Amino acid sequence: MSLPLQGRTAIVTGAGRGLGRAEALELARLGAAVVVNDYGQPGRDGSGAAGAGPAEEVVAEIRSAGGTALAHTGDVADFAQAGALVGLAVAEFGGLDILVNNAGILRDRMVFSLTEADWDAVVRVHLKGHFNTTRFAAAHWRERSKARGGPVYGRIVNTSSEAFLAGSAGQPNYAAAKGGIVGLTTSTALALAKYGVTVNAICPRARTRMTEDVFAGLAAPEQGLDPLAPEHVAPLVGYLAAPAAARINGQLLVVHGGMVAVVERPRVRAQFDSKQETFTYDELDALLTPYYAALPDGETFAAAEVLGLKRS
């Protein structure tokens, strides 16, 4: 079997369960040494009883398959702890090559019911968590590139969501955080390209502990792989982390159920120019009102059609 990530070191955040777990296992299967991050107390399970926590369990699974891994139970939304995570990978394995940002939480409510705590918690874990680890990984690669006098190997795979693309009405905090991650992705991709680093984002659809309520009405099949299984997502993460994906940078891809869709960047649909030095209310009314009147009712910037994507 080909091991395209042999000799590489990867970090996967939120990797104790669900998507992160599947991604960590796939990276290890492809040859990478993996730092498995999952927030919690080391040596404790979810009930607080003594025993291995989720991160340690994934590490044990990787090691039992012949791979190399270690656990980190810090909070990636904490700036210092995120720095310690990157520092751990560098100290234990001599460097960092791959960062997969996956950690996240949900606090779903309509915008008129959303509390400040709901907003802050989701934006903190998703958006700030992505920034924190990215910041320290980027600094590491920049320093390595300067010392080497040329590009180095670096891959970041961020986790956005179809909730951002489609405008999920009951997830204003989550959709906003996931949209922010796309902005962080494209900005970082341009900033780090000269150092040899690629930065891409995926929008995965998967049945995990975090999304069990979202997909409660979609039962898993009795036989065969669940179309919503995280194992459909992990191979794309492994590919984006590999040398073969060197020309893929600043991209957004939707992945689930044996399907990958490349999302096109926003394009200008129409342009209106004032016939004077600047627009007046009446001129805008004459131009924009009929334009929008001709569009389908309910159409917004959101791309709700992505929710209909499926393997053909």
Q: What separation in angstroms does the CA of 295 have from each of 167, 290, 298, 304?
A: 18, 9, 9, 16
CA angle 222/226/229 to nearest 5° reads: 145
Average pLDDT, the chain: 92
Element (H, E) at 5: none
Q: Which of 39, 153, 174, 195 is catalytic?
A: 174
Q: At residue 12, what are phi and psi to the nearest 5 degrees?
A: -125, 120
Tokens at 166, concatenated:
């489609």
- pLDDT, tens only, 221-268: 666 666 778 999 999 999 999 999 999 999 999 999 999 999 999 999
274 is catalytic: no
178 is catalytic: yes
- pLDDT, tens only, 123-164: 999 999 999 999 999 999 999 999 999 999 999 999 999 999
Instruction: Give DSSP secondary structure letters for 116-154.
Output: HHHHHHHHIIIIIHHHHHHHHHHHHHHHHHHHHTS---E
Q: What is the residue type of 267?
A: R
Range from 52-66, 204-218, 220-234 carrying the lowest mean pLDDT: 204-218
Q: Which of 153, 161, 168, 195 is catalytic?
A: 161
Q: Alpha helix locations (H) across the chain?
A: 18-29, 54-64, 79-93, 116-123, 129-148, 162-166, 172-192, 234-240, 281-293
pLDDT band at residue 206 under the 50/70/90 scheme: confident
- pLDDT, tens only, 168-203: 999 999 999 999 999 999 999 999 999 999 999 999
pLDDT band at residue 48 under the 50/70/90 scheme: very low
- Rounded-to-integer distance, Cα 94 and Cα 133, Å: 17
Q: Which of 128, 153, 178, 195 is catalytic?
A: 178
* Predicted local confidence at residue 47, as pLDDT: 35
174 is catalytic: yes
* Predicted local confidence at residue 45, as pLDDT: 40
- pLDDT, tens only, 72-106: 999 999 999 999 999 999 999 999 999 999 999 99
